[in-house]
Structure 1
Amino acid sequence: MARVSRTIIGFFGRVNAGKSTAMNLLTRQPTSLVDAAPGTTADVRDALMEIHALGPCKVLDTAGLDEGAGLGAKKRQKTLAALEECDLVALVVDPRQAFASGQADVEAFVAREALRLGKHLAVLLNLRAGDAPPPDVRDFCLAALPPDAGVPVLEIDLADDARTAALAEFLAAASPAAKRAGPLLPFLRDRGAVLLHVPMDEETPSGRLLRPQEMAMEFLLRRSVPIALYRTDLRRARHDDPAERDAERRRFVAFLGALAAAESVQLVLTDSQAIDVMDAWVPADVPLTTFSVMMIHATSGGDLALFARGAAALDALAAGDRVLIAEACNHDRIAEDIGTVQLPHQLRERVPGVVVEHAFGREFPDPEELRDYAVVIHCGGCMIHEQRLRARVLRLAAAGVPVTNYGLALAWHEGPDALRRVLAPWRA
Structure 2
Amino acid sequence: MEPSVSMETEIPVYNHSSPPGSFECIVSGLRWVCAVEVSLQYHFSDPHVFRAELAMLQYEPIGPLMDIKVLSGELLEAHLPHFACLEGSDSSLREAVRVLHGVNSSVTLEKCELTRFHAKLLKPSFSLTEVLVKIGIPMKAHLDVLIYRTRVTPLVLLTYVVPRDASMIQAVKEDLCRTQDAKEIITHRPNISIWMSTEFILKASLCDAKISPSEITLKYVKPPEFFKVVIKNAEDSFDLEILSEGKSIWKATLERFEHGEIGEMAHSHEMPSAASRYSQEVIHRTDEEEGKMAPMSHQASRHSREVIHREAASTSRAARDDEEEGNVASMSHKDRLSHIRPDLIERTSEGVLKGLVLRLESHQPPVLNRMEAQVILQRTNVLHEQVTSLIDMVIKKGDTTCGIMLSLLKELDYYFYQDLIKKTQNLSEDL
For normalisation by structure 2, the TM-score amounts to: 0.25
**Higher-strand-fraction structure:** 2
For normalisation by structure 1, the TM-score amounts to: 0.25
**Higher-helix-fraction structure:** 1
Determine which structure has greater relative contact order: mean sequence separation of CA pairs < 8 Å that are 6+ residues apart, divided by chain length: 1
